[in-house]
Each structure stands twice: as C-alpha cells, then as structure tokens.
C-alpha cells in the first residue's frame, strides 16, 4: 500500500509543461539584469519550443504577470515586483485542472472518501505555494544568473593538445 500511495503522489503532483515553462520565464525575468527578455532568448537558453513558449508568455501576459511589447525592441518584463507574485497564484493560473483524480465518473464516488482527501491534499499543496513568492524562488539571484549565463552562451572552445601552439616547444 505504501508503494501505491507514493506512486500516486509522484504521478499526480506533477505540474504541466505549461506551468513549468511559466515558472522558468518568471524566474528568468526575476534575475535578469535588465528585467527584460525575449521569446528567443529564453527558448534558446532552456532549449524550449518557441511556439509553446509564445503561448505561455501570452497566457502570463493575460494573467497580469507580464507586460509584453511586440515588434522590434520588444520583449517582456514582470508586470509586478517578484515579491508580489505568489507561486500559488501562478500555479492556479497556469494549471487547467487541479483535480488529482477523476472522481466524477467513478462508480465508488457516492460512498468513497478519497475525493475529499485529495481535495484537502490539493488545498494543502496550494496553501504552501501561497506562502512563497517569486522572489523566494529566485532568492539566489547570483547563482541563478550564473547558471542562466552558461545556458545562454555557446560552449567554450576546448584548449589542449589539439591546438597548434601545444605542439611547439617552450
């Protein structure tokens, strides 16, 4: 029974790719030196689909999390300070369905207590996320910025014996 419960927790608490991308966009902006980014920059940094990322950014803009500017010199910025954006509100906005199981069509539903337990678990999950802001998730700004910089830059050239200068005597 323990294995089954653990499997349920691992299976049902996974967020959608849309939410994953949304959180990456928000964290990226929270630590970006200019506070601005483009679809191309983020897609290239994280190796994400530009089309999917465009939908995510549009959805975040509609939700009031991003200010977007189209055209040359465009991009997007956080619409509010990172301290004012809670992770719980972002998850609620980006997750289409927070139901952990489809109890509505289950024959056991009239007598089963599982749906109430799962609702309580979801509420507890969101309550924890409501206690944390985007600023909390991006607290290690220097560490995150360093990681993002390595994602954005091309791989460094490997130096060593293959270089002509390595073959010359000192």
85, burial (CB in 10 Å: exposed 0-12, middle 13-18, buried 19+): buried
CA distances from 105 to 12, 101, 110, 115 (A): 18, 10, 11, 12
Q: Quick one: which of 2, 30, 13, 11 has its CA closest to 128?
A: 13
pTM here? Answer: 0.78
Q: Quick one: which of 99, 90, 27 has its CA closest to 59?
A: 90
Q: 2-154 domain in CATH 1.10.10.10?
A: yes
What are the residue ranges spanned by the domains of the chain? 2-154
Radius of gyration of the chain (CA): 22
CA distances from 86 to 20, 137, 156 (A): 15, 10, 37
DSSP 100: S
Q: Note down pLDDT in tens along the chain; length 170 residues.
A: 444 444 444 545 678 899 999 999 999 999 998 889 999 999 999 999 999 999 999 999 999 999 998 888 789 999 999 999 999 999 999 998 887 778 888 888 889 988 889 889 999 999 999 999 999 999 988 888 888 888 865 444 444 444 433 434 43
- Find tokens 């349920």 and name the residue: 8
CB proximity list for 154: less than 8 A, separation 6 or greater:
none
Decide: 76 and 36 in contact? Cβ < 8 Å: yes
Q: Please give the helix or strand (H or E) that residue 66 lies within, else none.
A: strand 66-69
Q: Please give the helix or strand (H or E) that residue 37 lies within, else none.
A: strand 36-37
């Amino acid at each position: 029974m323990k294995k089954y419960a653990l499997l349920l927790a691992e299976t049902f608490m996974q967020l959608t790719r849309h939410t994953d991308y949304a959180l990456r966009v928000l964290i990226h902006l929270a630590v970006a030196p200019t506070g601005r980014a483009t679809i191309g920059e983020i897609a290239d940094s994280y190796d994400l689909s530009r089309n999917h990322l465009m939908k995510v950014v549009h959805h975040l803009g509609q939700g009031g999390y991003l200010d977007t500017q189209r055209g040359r010199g465009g991009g997007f910025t956080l619409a509010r300070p990172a301290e004012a954006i809670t992770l719980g509100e972002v998850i609620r906005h980006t997750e289409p369905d927070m139901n952990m199981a489809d109890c509505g069509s289950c024959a056991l539903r009239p007598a089963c207590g599982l749906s109430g337990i799962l609702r309580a678990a979801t509420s507890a999950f969101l309550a924890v996320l409501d206690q944390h802001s985007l600023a909390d998730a991006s607290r290690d700004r220097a560490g995150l910025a360093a990681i993002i910089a390595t994602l954005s830059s091309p791989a460094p050239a490997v130096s060593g014996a293959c270089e002509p200068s390595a073959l010359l005597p000192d």
